[in-house]
Structure 1
Amino acid sequence: MSRLQTTLRDLKDLNVYRATLAEFLGVMFLVIIGCASPYGERTIDHTRISLSFGMSVATIVWVINNVSGGHINPAVTLAMLVTRKITMVRCILYIGAQMAGAIIGILILKGLICNWQLAYYTREQLNITECGLALNTLGKEVSPGQGFGVEVLITFMLVMTVFATCDQSRTDLHGSGPLAIGLAVTIGHLGFIEITGASMNPARSFGPAVVLGDYTNQWVYWVGPFVGAILAGVVYEFLFAGNAGTTKVVEFFTEVDYNPENEPFDEYPKTPRVASDIPT
């Protein structure tokens, strides 16, 4: 099946829309759980936030990876498009669903916690009059350029992990792919949450920004993750993948119906593997 035929098929395939719904729900629950984690204490517990985001990602990817691939991140989706693992139709639907899921998730979170949060601040005599909703902001004395660099680096690490867990040409991977992805998110938060908030995910940053109407330095949380994700996808596919090599590079740029897995393209790209997928 040609690439064009696959793209046209995606428009008529109900499974694509089922996958789109999975991405919407996945991001919605990610932002509800992750963005709720900073609240309820006088001081912010960065370890709790890191684990909340990381374990949420691992759990959600585990649940929906057989439906949509478990992207739950526009940066991951764009990297999959650039490396020709998904069609443009699927990319547009996924990113639209992810953005909508983030906004709806933050609106739900606002309704659930804002009144309680403000009452808590008043009771504890804290000089805070707004419901922050875990808006990503740059740390003190951190320039937008530095924030951009951090987001590129930590998103690069995350997307390299995603591509490694999806690499069907490797037989050395054991254990849980979704857990590895969640740990990459956790590590990114532990290292850099005080610098940029460790977004790694434009949807996660976009939801709070829209609901609060605060787009300060928002470009950092879009351009940084997108650049990091694209670089990671290209580096992994052409240098580190189990079937990497010059032949793959040549085919990528010359074959109209290029397939990175050397399998019929009408089979949806493989999802993060679990232990039962590994040959013994």
Structure 2
Amino acid sequence: MVSEIKKKAFWRAVVAEFLAMTIFVFISIGSALGFQFPIGTNKLTPVQDNVKVSLAFGLAIATMAQCVGHVSGAHLNPAVTLGCLLSCQISILKAVMYMIAQCLGAIVAAAILQGVTSSLEANSLGLNSLAAGINSGQGLGIEIIVTFQLVLCVLATTDRRRNDVTGSAPLAIGLSVALGHLIAIDYTGCGMNPARSFGSAVVARNFTHHWIFWVGPMLGGAAAALIYDFILFPRTSELTDRVKVCTNGQVEEYDLDGDDSARVEMKPK
């Protein structure tokens, strides 16, 4: 782990997660908060279009994945990072640093949005909450399912063992994010990204039912990684090799001769 910290590529990847997460949250939540400017009146009326918001989330993820995928793998979601960790694609240290960077990026973006939309009445900053008639158990189940399909998509489209993926991995993942929002946004606001939920909760100072938007996505991401890695497309790596990756990172991720080039995690074979 000590050798990993000393690499410039490690810190570039962490910074990339922070910057990409900031931009992603600003664009996606900003689309949910948006203003409507009626012709002939000065009143500001907040509106939300579920299709517009879902597409904004999906396209923002796809764009950021294309921008920083070659630097950090563009996880942009603690649940995805956990899935990659359980799949032994990154080290524990890198996973922790990614999650911290993602949460900080979400907080910064939510704080900026608070200033930009300060005149918006009842501004929740995209805070996730349970819809009327939805209990915590149902909300948890929804978050597990939508995150499961996202992490499964990430692992399948970025698996370097595959040679049949010819399309765009970032676009496929973006569509998966959009699909999750189209399904869950009316029930929970779709909290499939714990860091995005955390940023809004911190700035809005409202943590009601917030545990659901951590436990649900993390369980969904973990389940997707374990099922993909051990049932759907098992890896042949020995346990000792998997442990080495979790403690020291991928061997090919950092050149042993000192080259700091980062491994391209988001690009399919």
Shorter-chain TM-score: what band?
A: 0.7 to 0.9
Deviates more, 1:142-151 or 1:33-42: 33-42
72, 78, 98: which one aligns with 2:76: 72
54, 57, 67: which one aligns with 2:58: 54
Letter in 1 for 2:159: D
Distance 1:74 1:265 in 2: 19
168, 190, 196: which one aligns with 2:160: 168
Shift of 1:272: 2.1
- Give 2:125's aligned residue: 133
- Give unmatched runs, 5+ long, in structure 2: 37-44, 254-262
Whether the aligned pair in 1 keeps the contact of 2:106 and 2:196 (CA below 8 Å) is yes
Shift of 1:259: 6.0
Q: Percent identity?
A: 39
Let me know the Cα RMSD of the aligned residues.
1.8
Whether the aligned pair in 2 keeps the contact of 1:168 and 1:270 (CA below 8 Å) is no
Distance 2:56 2:83 in 1: 25
Q: Give the 3-state SS of the residue equivalent to 2:117 in structure 1.
A: helix
TM-score in terms of structure 1 length? 0.84
- Give 1:37's aligned residue: 31
- Give 1:22's aligned residue: 16
Whether the aligned pair in 1 keeps the contact of 2:90 and 2:250 (CA below 8 Å) is no
- Residue 257 to residue 147, structure 1, CA distance change in 2 (3 Å): closer
- Residue 111 to residue 13, structure 1, CA distance change in 2 (3 Å): same
Distance 2:196 2:149 in 1: 17
- Give 2:91's aligned residue: 87
Whether the aligned pair in 2 keeps the contact of 1:166 and 1:270 (CA below 8 Å) is no
TM-score in terms of structure 2 length? 0.87
Shift of 1:72: 0.5
Residue-by-residue CA offset, 1:78-119 (whole Å, 9 max, x unaligned): 11112221111111111111111000010011111222x23x
Distance 2:4 2:118 in 1: 40
Residue-by-residue CA offset, 1:158-200 (whole Å, 9 max, x unaligned): 0001001111111111110000000000001111110111121
* Structure 1 segments (4+ residues) deviating >4 Å: 254-260
Q: Give the 3-state SS of the residue equivalent to 1:136 in structure 2.
A: coil
